Amino acid sequence: MIDQLDNVNESMSLFVEDNRNPCILVSMDGVITHTNSLFENKFTLKRNDNFLSLLTRHGLRRWNDFKTDSTETKVGLFENLVMLSKGNVECLCKAHVFYSSSRNAATITFVLPAVCDELPDSAYVGCFTNANRTILMVDNEGVIVDVNNRVKDIFNLTRSAVIGKRIQTIYRKFNTQKSDGESKYAEYIKALKTYGEVLFTERFENNPNDIQFLEIHAVYNNDSDMYIVELQDRTEIEMLRRQLDHSGSLSTVGQMAASIAHEIRNPMTTLKGFVQLMEVTATGDTAKYLQVVDDELQRMESILKEMLMLSKPSEEKNSEFSLGVLITKVLEIMKPKAMFESIHIDWHDASFCNSMIYSNADKLKQVLLNIFKNAFEAMEPGGVLTLKLKKAENDSFQLTVSDTGKGMSTVQIQSIFMPFFTSKPEGTGLGLPFVLKTMEDLGGAIAVTSKPDEGTTFTLAFPQNCLEQKTSFQHNSAN
């Protein structure tokens, strides 16, 4: 009899230990006499604790019914058991009970919901490593403890080059153009320590041609006592937003231009008529003053004309012509001004027959006149205007217009295509916005590079067929 009881005890203990789920052996008074490792790893209860403390009033009644049942071997199911896991998470689980009358004890096997089923560490490491954002873990001293592989996408740096560095060093490295970088960083740290979380978009400029906009989300994690910093590249979205803002400003300028033209042209026409009548009989200083008035009225008329160019819808007067011939004709118009201001034009084009494009010659002529006029005004006597036309890889033609003028700062380069921005005392700030709008309308593009005191280069790209380019653009936009 003793041997039989020992065999029962041994078999029940083995059942508990080998169970794939958390499992315990309890007496009918509810005292835990044996546990397996899964149960010990999951829950706060241990040997000699009473399992009945977990049961509700309804559960205790069911346990008493189960215990008083005279069946020698019986099986029961308890649902909605509230178990406290080691992570202080309350798990609502099921329990399968198997009772042996010879042992007067029961094995209880727990079926856990997904919320209580802990993932292996490798799963968390995989999530961290392969996240689609750059994630940095930073300690209280500001030292980067770990970073995932996405850091190369953002900063073009390896993990080993970042880990162990102070986050302020990384911040400063990619904000070399920001004079207020230190104060901004201090503000972010103060907000993070006060509120435990910050979210902002920062402009990173390592050089004028390498600008990034990063969304930075930093939170403090109590469990690890570290800051988790997420970085996401928002450069493309920010650039698109700025283009939309720019398009909106051009539309606003167009509406203003139409309104101003309507309000000013009528009284200006009246003034010009009276000035012309007075000039017939005027003498001496009066004639001189009237000439000044007439010159100013003409200047007002030219300003209105430039503004109306931005407001008028594009006219589709397209034809096939040689871009090289058009450039030469525009330069012929500019030659008297070049001779008067002692400016040398370096233009040797041998591809007239190969530079045929289908576009709007009148609009491109106005574009070139604006570009050349700006270049002349930027140079002192003796300056050189250099033009080069070549065939680009994408079957478009590329024209570079370089001057030896005073050049522009980074701020000026970023603003020259904005309406009303000008560095000239008598400028309107509408010439280059017109150039940009026209090039975009015709499917082309324009870019500018400049160095103070060295000169400026405009690069214009002309598609061979503006209609195909615009159709393709509209098709892609629709998709």
pLDDT bin (cut points 50, 70, 90) of residue 419 is low
Q: Which CATH number applies to 239-311?
A: 1.10.287
CA distance 272 to 275: 5
Task: Tell me whether the CATH fold assigned to 121-233 matches the one assigned to 319-478.
Answer: no
pLDDT tens column, 67-110:
887 777 778 887 777 676 666 666 777 888 888 777 778 888 88
pTM of the model: 0.40
- pLDDT of 411 > 80? The answer is no
| pLDDT value of residue 310 | 52
Task: Kindly state the average pLDDT of the residues 117-146.
Answer: 76
The crossing angle, in degrees rounded to 10, of helices 431-441 and 284-311 is: 30
Q: 152: Cβ–Cβ under 8 A, 6 or more apart, which residues? A: 158
Task: Kindly state the average pLDDT of the residues 356-364.
Answer: 84
pLDDT bin (cut points 50, 70, 90) of residue 194 is confident
| pLDDT value of residue 116 | 58
Nearest to 275 by CA among 265, 263, 259, 286: 286
- pLDDT of 477 > 50? The answer is no
Pick the CATH number of 121-233 from 3.40.50.1820, 3.10.20.30, 3.30.70.260, 3.30.450.20: 3.30.450.20
CA distance 398 to 435: 15
pLDDT bin (cut points 50, 70, 90) of residue 401 is very high
Domain 2-116 has CATH 3.30.450.20: yes
CA distance 364 to 463: 12
Task: Kindly state the average pLDDT of the residues 140-162.
Answer: 83
pLDDT tens column, 269-323:
788 888 888 887 888 888 888 888 887 787 777 666 665 655 555 556 788 888 8
In percent, how much of the chain has pLDDT > 90? 3
In this structure, what is the dihedral angle of CA atoms 286, 291, 293, 298, given to the nearest 10 degrees?
Answer: 170
Nearest to 220 by CA among 188, 179, 261, 172: 188
CATH superfamily of 319-478: Histidine kinase-like ATPase, C-terminal domain (3.30.565.10)
Ordered by start, the domain boundaries in the chain are 2-116, 121-233, 239-311, 319-478
In this structure, what is the dihedral angle of CA atoms 113, 119, 120, 122, given to the nearest 10 degrees?
Answer: 160
In percent, how much of the chain has pLDDT > 70? 74
Work out whether strand 356-359 and strand 319-322 pair parallel, antiparallel, or are unpaired.
Answer: antiparallel
